[in-house]
Structure 1
Amino acid sequence: MTDSVKPIAPITLPNVQHPEQEEEWLRKSLHTWLDEEFLPETVNGKIAQRAAKIFVRQRMEGENDLGSLVIAIIAEMRAFDFSRSFYSEFAVANAVSDLILDSLGIDRCCGG
């Protein structure tokens, strides 16, 4: 690794204080994002609900590393039937990451 290339520092979230509120915020935010990114679809609500539950359950189990949370969403959403959706588990996990980074005021462009 050269001196000019530095790894991206992990993003550690604060411990969860209000899991129900965090889950509801993420569910609503992700559902809105899914509906606005392409077309509003009935399945978007189910996708958002499942992803938010995975995220908060992982947080309640003590996982606060955003990268690990994204991987957990990808792994667990593989069992979800995306056949009626424009999305995949990867798009959903990336959207969750973007929403969390935005909520924390972290620039998600260019590793900033």
Structure 2
Amino acid sequence: MIEPIPAVTLPPCSSPEQEAEWLRQALHTWLDREFLPEIVNDKIAERASSVYLRQRMEGENDVGCLLIAILTEMQGFDFSKSFYSEFAVANAVSDLLLNSLGIDTCCGQS
């Protein structure tokens, strides 16, 4: 029988603003490195980190739920001046969070 993939949970947040700032910087760096550095990348990273901050302050620790929240809220962002979409951004955030926990995002192994 196929086993479901277990949820990945972040540790409780003691400094949400610091985590959000780390995420903003890490995502901005990833966006600039993945394709071309663009001015809009800063706005994308800022928006994603603000969603993350709000979710963490509300007590959300599940990486999958954070991914869905960022995906949903980024749908309202204007990506017309970017190579990215809400899916790419949400997946990148998820990868960054998993990497911060020492989880290999390529194969799902730690």
TM-score of the aligned structures, taking structure 1 as reference length: 0.94
Residue 57 of structure 1 deviates from its aligned partner by 0.6
Alpha-carbon contact 1:8-1:111 (below 8 Å) kept: no
Percent identity over paired residues: 69
Superposed, 1:57-72 pairs within 5 Å as: 57-72=54-69
Question: What is the match of residue 33 of structure 2?
Answer: 36
The runs of 5 or more residues in structure 2 that have no matched partner are none
Paired with 2:18 and 2:57, the residues of 1 have a C-alpha distance of 13
Q: Structure 1 residues 6-15 or 25-34, which shifts more? A: 6-15
Q: Kindly indicate whether residue 81 of structure 2 is the aligned counterpart of residue 84 of structure 1.
A: yes
Deviations 1:10-49 (A, max 9, x none): 0011111111111110000000000000000000000000
Deviating beyond 6 angstroms after TM superposition, the runs of 4 or more aligned structure 1 residues are none
The runs of 5 or more residues in structure 1 that have no matched partner are none
Q: CA RMSD in A?
A: 0.8
Deviations 1:40-79 (A, max 9, x none): 0000000000000101110110111100000000000000
- Highest CA radius of gyration, 1 or 2? 1
TM-score of the aligned structures, taking structure 2 as reference length: 0.95
Alpha-carbon contact 1:41-1:85 (below 8 Å) kept: yes
Residue 93 of structure 1 deviates from its aligned partner by 0.4
